Chains A and B, each alone.
Chain A
Amino acid sequence: MTQVLHRGPAAPPRLRVELQPTGRRVDVEAGSDLLSAVQAAAVGIVAVCGGHGACGSCKVRVVRGDLAPPTDAERSLLGPGELAGGFRLACQARVLSDCTVGIPEGSLSASQRLAFEGGGVAVGADTPVLPVDVEVEPPGLGDLRSDAARLLDAIAATNGLRPEVDVPVLAQLPTRLRAEGWSVRAVVSQPERGLPRLVGVLPPGTEPLGLAVDLGTTKLAAYLVSMESGTTLAQAGAMNPQIAFGEDVMSRITRANESPANARLLRDSVVEALGSLVEQLCAQSGRSYYDIVDAVVVGNTAMHHLLLGLPVRQLGEAPYVPAASDPVEAPAASIGLRLNPGAPCYLPPNIAGFVGADHVAMVLAAGLGSTERTVLGLDIGTNTEISLSYRGHLRSCSTASGPAFEGARIRQGMRAAPGAVEHVRYVGDRFLVQTVDNAPAIGICGSGILDAVAEARKAGVLDSRGALSRQHPLVWRSEHGPSCLLVGADQAGNGRDIFFTRSDVNEIQLAKGAVRAGTKVLLAEAGITEEALDEVVMAGAFGTYLDVGSAVAIGMLPAVPLDRYRQIGNGAGRGAVEMLVSRDQRSLAREVAKRSEYIELTVYPGFVDIFADSLPL
């Protein structure tokens, strides 16, 4: 008989998970789920619902090894073919042995198209940083002033300014002054409020640079800007690595609430990504991070809080109050950004828990902040922020449009990656599609499904309630319910039919209904009808790529002539650049946030009725 020694509960054995195609390996406890393993290996996987087994986005394929049997969530979200082919949901699949797991392209958060629009902005006298070229008197036995004192004396003699100097700048002074032979370009900040500070000491004649960042829930966009000319010298983008902790803001707040360590992890991951964006920008432009003497970061209120390490719990629960909404100016180094050690970082004000500084930036870029015209501005995403300027009065709201426009919750939905159907037209008796990069179709992205619904409605394939016409030759009942064919399997890049379902139409109805209902409330509060709109400005990736005609046709956007629409690309990024080079724009941001009247839709009287009225196609 074998003797067994019992020494209390044994620690679960460590198992090795190998991830393809990166080849990264990670050790996990037996019984842990694959999503945690993938996250621990720092591979960017999409987990739209944050690992709750509700969305089906974290699909992986098991190449070898034993896992616990599929859960109910997996059986309902994965097709029988997928299960048989070894596909699992990473958040559900529990590891029982060493294993090898492949992460399909579609589940990776990288390699996705990023939308930017740079362009120059004018720099005026209100520049937040002022370069001052000075010749500093070298010290001698008859002149024992400190390095700082002699530099400040020289600045004062040149333009009368006497800036404050902080320790990080003091620390670089002696080396810098001597390295440059006592001839330097001092950069003095002229903050919106408070005293001027010395933010950097550069080689003479060096063009000071600024960094503008749009810190999106999904994407990060960074711009390197000349503080002299306002020209964007380089731009770079990346996925927000926090996606591994949940795709939407709420899932991330939940994760941050779980433990201070998680909150730090969320913060660190994004700080690291910003650091590598700065490196890219410097490499692209051949400049040094040392020349970056100012920064502006815009993001929604949750991104803002997570970056600053502010608590987010109160943001996640009604009445969704921010910890801080005033502008913040802090040393960039204190946020973890590696720029010139003296560089400040400015975070513009937030309007409300769900309308953040990114929307303020977009309002500036769209010109809503200072206009007497009647202008509607929309930033369409998982949450859609809408602002209406009427007679100089600003009203704003945030509406839960859901992730359908990002391709999520659509049966064959995907992001705007190569092979995604992005535009659809109904010609003759069939659909013609255009895909990203003209690659053979493998799925449908947000603008594609929107087009498909609009075109199908126009062709009578769909009725106003969203039901598919059974008589139409392209409509059939698939295993996913009534479905409509877009691209036949023989033309598709994955050898499968590309189609949309009645349920997809339903998702689009809910999403567009939310956007329309938010717009209706703002118009009603202003006491005007949509015909009164002089202009409708659309920002954001989806707002830029969607077909306005289709969006108007299905009643998502106001039925005004199409020439009143303007698509401005990354409005938040543009607004950030504007604030970077202009104190006046920073003041305007403060004013916009202060006088913007925020309307909370969930408690708006009759909102459910307005929403229901906005659902028909």
Chain B
Amino acid sequence: MPVLEELRQAVVDGQAKAAVARATQGLEEGIPAEVLLRDGLISAMQEVGRLFEEGEIFVPEMLVSARAMNATLVVLKPLLATEGSEARSEGKVVIGTVQGDLHEIGKNLVAIMLEGSGFEVVDLGTDVSPERFLEAAEAGADVVAMSALLTTTMTNMKAVVEALGRAGLRDKVRIIVGGAPITDRFASEIGADGYAPDASKAVRKVRELLAVKA
């Protein structure tokens, strides 16, 4: 099925238009949306993650690949729902940028890499209050992932950890943090379970925390 391979390559290369065209072509050829998602998009993002970890590509390329994946998802998502073919989820991740912080690029990359690795992702957006993190976690989540780009807002991560603790959810969810000023030391200081320096390692960290087999 060359169209699948072309779709995969288009996403790896970050060519959004080509990716959408290949996905549309695939659907016309009768390939199920679920297969296009799994063997096209998810497989592509795993390749992107691998290239990133090997230092072959960097954030700019990752961003354009993520965009190509998003553009293609817009085409596939309605079909995935109608087909009722719920892809097997590796786990549910609630993700957001903490209160006071409007930066989303890094958080979006982590979300897309998680999605591309088969996780169900609930993206709360930016400037997310501890209450909203808590609400989303109460609705059922395996992992809460928080991002902060500013040294002024990274301290707000602690409030979320504490809110989850007060609600008695601390044993039920794993907490992962990331963002430019965050370090391993900071993560353990605020009582998070893990830290990852980039989107690709975030996926690995989440897997590790949930002990899901890669």
Contacts and interface: CB of A to CB of B under 8 A. Distances in A.
B105 interface: yes
Interface stretch (B57-65, B82-90, B115-123): B57-65
A317 B101 contact: yes
Given A250-B152, A254-B152, A612-B67, A602 B99 contact: no
A615 interface: yes
Contact of B151 (A250, A608, A611, A612): A250
A253 B64 CA distance: 33
B184 A316 contact: no
Contacts of B57: 465, 467
B132 to A, nearest CB: 14
Interface in B82-134: 99-105, 108, 126-127
B150 A52 contact: no
B100 A318 contact: yes
A316 B100 contact: yes
B183 A54 contact: yes
A612 B66 CA distance: 10
Contacts of A482: 55
A509 B105 CA distance: 15
Contacts of A250: 150-152
Contacts of A505: 58
Interface string B127-156: 100000000000000000000011111011
A506 B60 contact: yes
Nearest to B197: A76
A54 B183 CA distance: 7
Given A253-B152, A609-B67, A318 B127 contact: yes
Given A54-B180, A317-B100, A608-B105, A502 B55 contact: yes
A253 B151 CA distance: 8
A52 B186 contact: yes
Contacts of B153: 316-318
Nearest to A465: B61
Contacts of A54: 180-181, 183
Interface string B175-188: 00000110111100
Contacts of A1: none
B151 A254 contact: yes
- Residue of B57, B102, B151, B186 with highest tally of chain A CB at under 10 A: B151
A612 B64 contact: yes
Interface in A472-509: 481-482, 502-503, 505-506, 509
A108 B75 CA distance: 54
Nearest to A316: B152
A602 B151 contact: no
Given A609-B67, A611-B105, A510 B59 contact: yes
A72 B184 contact: yes
A318 to B, nearest CB: 5
Given A52-B183, A318-B101, A608-B108, A257 B152 contact: yes
A526 B38 CA distance: 43
Contact of B58 (A318, A506, A611): A506
A481 B101 contact: no
Contacts of A72: 184
Given A608-B104, A612-B64, A466 B58 contact: yes
A442 to B, nearest CB: 25
A482 B56 CA distance: 8
Contact of A52 (B55, B56, B58, B151): B151
A465 B55 contact: no
B102 A318 contact: yes
Nearest to B154: A254
B55 A481 contact: yes
A72 B61 CA distance: 28
Contacts of A342: none
A602 B103 contact: yes
Nearest to A313: B152
Contacts of B58: 466, 502-503, 505-506, 509
A519 interface: no
Contacts of B99: 317-318
A558 interface: no
B72 to A, nearest CB: 15
Contact of B64 (A313, A316, A503, A615): A615
Interface string A586-611: 00000000000000101100001101
A122 interface: no
- Residue of A254, A481, A502, A611 with highest tally of chain B CB at under 10 A: A254
Contacts of A611: 63, 105
Contacts of B64: 612, 615
A53 interface: yes
Interface in A57-79: 71-73
Contact of A73 (B56, B126, B156, B183): B183
A251 interface: yes
Contacts of A348: none
A210 interface: no
- Residue of B101, B181, B185 with highest tally of chain A CB at under 10 A: B181
A72 B185 CA distance: 9
A246 interface: yes
A316 B150 contact: yes
B126 A602 contact: yes
A313 B59 CA distance: 31
B104 A506 contact: no
Nearest to A402: B180
A513 interface: yes
A49 interface: yes
Interface in B165-194: 180-181, 183-186
- Residue of B103, B127, B150, B155 with highest tally of chain A CB at under 10 A: B150
A275 B183 CA distance: 38
A407 interface: no
A616 B58 CA distance: 12
B181 A52 contact: yes
A405 B19 CA distance: 35
A509 B57 CA distance: 12
A400 B150 CA distance: 11
A251 B152 CA distance: 7
A257 B67 CA distance: 37
Closest 9 CB pairs of A and B: A317-B100, A316-B152, A506-B58, A602-B102, A615-B60, A481-B55, A254-B151, A612-B63, A318-B102
Interface of A: 49-50, 52-54, 71-73, 246, 250-251, 253-254, 257, 313, 316-319, 400, 465-467, 481-482, 502-503, 505-506, 509-510, 513, 600, 602-603, 608-609, 611-612, 615-616
10 contacts: A50-B151, A52-B181, A73-B184, A250-B150, A317-B153, A317-B156, A503-B55, A602-B102, A608-B104, A608-B108
Given A53-B185, A257-B152, A502-B58, 20 more contacts: A49-B151, A50-B151, A52-B151, A54-B181, A73-B184, A246-B151, A316-B150, A316-B152, A317-B152, A317-B156, A318-B102, A318-B153, A319-B102, A466-B58, A466-B60, A466-B61, A602-B102, A603-B102, A612-B64, A616-B60
